[in-house]
Amino acid sequence: MTYKILVTPRSFGKHSQRPMQLLKEKGFHVKKNPYGKILTEDQMIEQVKDVDGVIIGVDPLNQKVLQHANKLKAISKYGVGLDNIDLDYTKKHNIAVSIASDTNTDAVADYTFALMMAAARRVAHIDKECRKLNWEKITTIDISNKTLGLIGLGNIGKKVSRRAQGFDMEVLAYDLNPDYEYSRNNGISYVDSLEEILKKSDFISLHLPLNAHTNHIIGSHQFDIMKSNSVIVNTARGGLIDEQALFNALQYNKIWGAGIDVFESEPPKNTEMLNMENIVVGSHCAASTVEAIDNMGITASKNIIGNLLR
């Protein structure tokens, strides 16, 4: 039997032929994203009608889309976040769902720290001024010996905590499923509430899935209780931060700055934010390294092969 696979991530197989080879070695027919961008609901509906499997990025696989995928047997996430997939629907219809676990953790942790440093030291703003031949010294803030608060201490949060050790940072963590053994062995202190971590931290980094409980977990109230010289970083999911509240916090200097790689809409709807000097913006590219892309592609291919041929 020949299986038909839809592959939506634009970077799939970009640097290595191995992800595509794995599929073709099994005789799979591969249909790639024909639009060169994240697909809309209507485009996904059009593409999923005749496929047995999907290797999915951040494109929508909600009920509206999935109810048109009558042949679909397996979904392989190109990454780990599942908030764009209706898991209740897939469970009800026996559609296997897999993730490419631990394929991009180092890449995301590196980029998290890059955003943290860039926001603290105003790297983008200084670069912009230098290109205009403005050599005025711009004063910024230190990272070393500060307090880092991790909201979510999963695989990526743990990697970020290890990088913080090199900067002699005190690391705090807030997680509903604490890993006490890891925290004891790595000098991390758990706090009892979200408010506590926001009040005590100089740098705050989000590492959570997006769901009904975490949507807008950071809003106006949370920005009000943060330190005025704090930096917030989000490389996890757009929607964790209320973007209007973030805009207000940056506009009125309630916090020092932000490093944001993920937005609720990409590009963000509030384009005024893109002109602010105290935010560093990414294009949802924290996991976009050559190595991580290769790892995600190979694992995503292996996962869908395993689920279709089992």
CA distance 175 to 152: 5
Domains 4-103+290-309 and 105-281 share a fold: yes
- The domain spans of the chain are 4-103+290-309, 105-281
Residue of 195, 266, 272, 291 with catalytic role: 266
| Catalytic (active site) residue 237 | yes
State which CATH number among 3.30.420.40, 3.40.50.720, 3.40.50.300, 1.10.8.60 fits the domain covering 4-103+290-309. 3.40.50.720
Distance CA 241, CA 95 (A): 31
Residue 284 bears catalytic tag: yes
Averaged pLDDT of the chain: 96
Is 243 known to be catalytic? no
| Predicted confidence (pLDDT) per residue in 75-126, tens digit | 999 998 899 999 999 999 999 999 999 999 999 999 999 999 999 999 999 9
**Digit-coded pLDDT (tens) for 273-298:** 999 999 999 999 999 999 999 999 99
Catalytic site residue from 237, 243, 291, 310:
237
Q: Choose between 310 and 250: higher pLDDT.
A: 250
Q: Which residues contact 280 (CB under 8 A, 6 or more apart)?
A: 115, 118, 119, 123, 124, 257, 258, 259, 260
The Cα 65–Cα 145 span in angstroms is: 49
Q: What is the mean pLDDT of residues 51-67?
A: 97
Alpha carbons within 13 A on the beta-carbon side of 77: 22
Give me the catalytic one of 122, 125, 207, 284: 284
Identify the three-state secondary structure at position 198: helix
With a cut of 80, say whether residue 1 has pLDDT above it.
no
Structure tokens, 293 = 């892309």
Question: In the CATH scheme, what architecture does the domain 105-281 have?
Answer: 3-Layer(aba) Sandwich (3.40)
